[in-house]
Amino acid sequence: MRAETALDHVANERTAAAWVLFDPDGTHIPTEFMPSFGAFPESDQQIGMWQTAEGAGGYDARRTQELNQSAAPREALSAYRAILAKEMK
């Protein structure tokens, strides 16, 4: 998985606090994968939402995209570290 490989090179402190651009109808990182790098979509806060232009990204139709940020980056990082500790046992 290319996204996972790329994110393995980013400090988890950064990914836990990162903003996420989400395209529900487009190609995206599966939300089940996101906790593995410190992002928890269920606790994210939506910052914005918009419609893309027709033809944007090679899609004929307009799509809805959302910009989310972690509502609690420190808690997300702590939760991520707890997952890692559990996996190491």
Chain centre to alpha carbon of residue 26: 14
pLDDT of residue 50: 94
**Mean pLDDT taken over the chain:** 77
> Which tens digits make up the pLDDT trace of 56-67?
888 899 999 988
- What's the structural domain count of the chain? 1
The whole domain housing 23 covers 2-88
* Residue of 67, 85, 80 lying closest to 7 (CA atoms): 80
Cα Dmax for the chain: 49
